[in-house]
Chain A
Amino acid sequence: EDQVTQSPEALRLQEGESSSLNCSYTVSGLRGLFWYRQDPGKGPEFLFTLYSAGEEKEKERLKATLTKKESFLHITAPKPEDSATYLCGSGGSNYKLTFGKGTLLTVNP
């Protein structure tokens, strides 16, 4: 059974304080590791897809990386508008996405 575990559950940062979110996955036949952002009261919004170990993708202050067992979402010099819940999902050979429970990020000014 595919499993995705995200840590920490919640993270509070000061503006400009860089950090990383972790996503550990167990999936057979990985077809993609997905990162989403979810704002309160809204649906998840796509950020990145990673396909193979060693791959990295960047978007503004966010960089996602992938190993054979984990993915990290690095946040460099975050701003208050980066506050959101970040979801990780793995797509496996069963052709479905399995999601972690998310990390609630709060960036204080």
Chain B
Amino acid sequence: NAGVTQTPKFQVLKTGQSMTLQCAQDMNHNSMYWYRQDPGMGLRLIYYSASEGTTDKGEVPNGYNVSRLNKREFSLRLESAAPSQTSVYFCASSEDRVDTNYGYTFGSGTRLTVV
């Protein structure tokens, strides 16, 4: 099925460990995004990539890095995980910077716990 695939679905890290969240889309979309979702805070943009080869900071970029590996893949890296990064992470994609038909297509999320 076409869509956005995120791996892993669940992860537990110890404080200070590093990890990379993977995201791939098969809809030939130009733009990709990483959000985090916390109770009472809604969806907050971490980083986005308007097109292959470009990345920009969103609302809450501190502690994260991203790589737009190719048009399909956009990864999010935590270099030194902190308990404050415990969250649900969503990757999304859109045909253009704002797809005026559907907004974004979201993946199913990665549930990350940092202990």
Contacts and interface: CB of A to CB of B under 8 A. Distances in A.
Contacts of A78: none
A32 B94 CA distance: 13
A31 B108 contact: no
A78 B112 CA distance: 33
A38 to B, nearest CB: 9
B48 A96 contact: yes
Contacts of B101: 49
B34 interface: no
| B interface SS class | loop
19 contacts: A31-B100, A34-B103, A42-B108, A43-B90, A43-B106, A43-B107, A43-B108, A43-B109, A44-B104, A45-B106, A46-B102, A46-B103, A46-B105, A49-B103, A87-B43, A89-B103, A92-B98, A97-B104, A101-B42
A89 B45 CA distance: 12
B50 interface: yes
Interface residues of B, number: 24
Contact of A96 (B41, B97, B107, B108): B97
Interface of B: 4, 40-43, 45, 48, 50, 58, 90, 92, 96-98, 100-109
Nearest to A43: B106
Given A42-B109, A49-B103, A91-B103, A32 B98 contact: yes
A42 B9 CA distance: 10
B28 to A, nearest CB: 18
Contacts of B45: 96
Nearest to B45: A96
A102 B42 contact: yes
Given A95-B50, A101-B42, A49 B98 contact: no
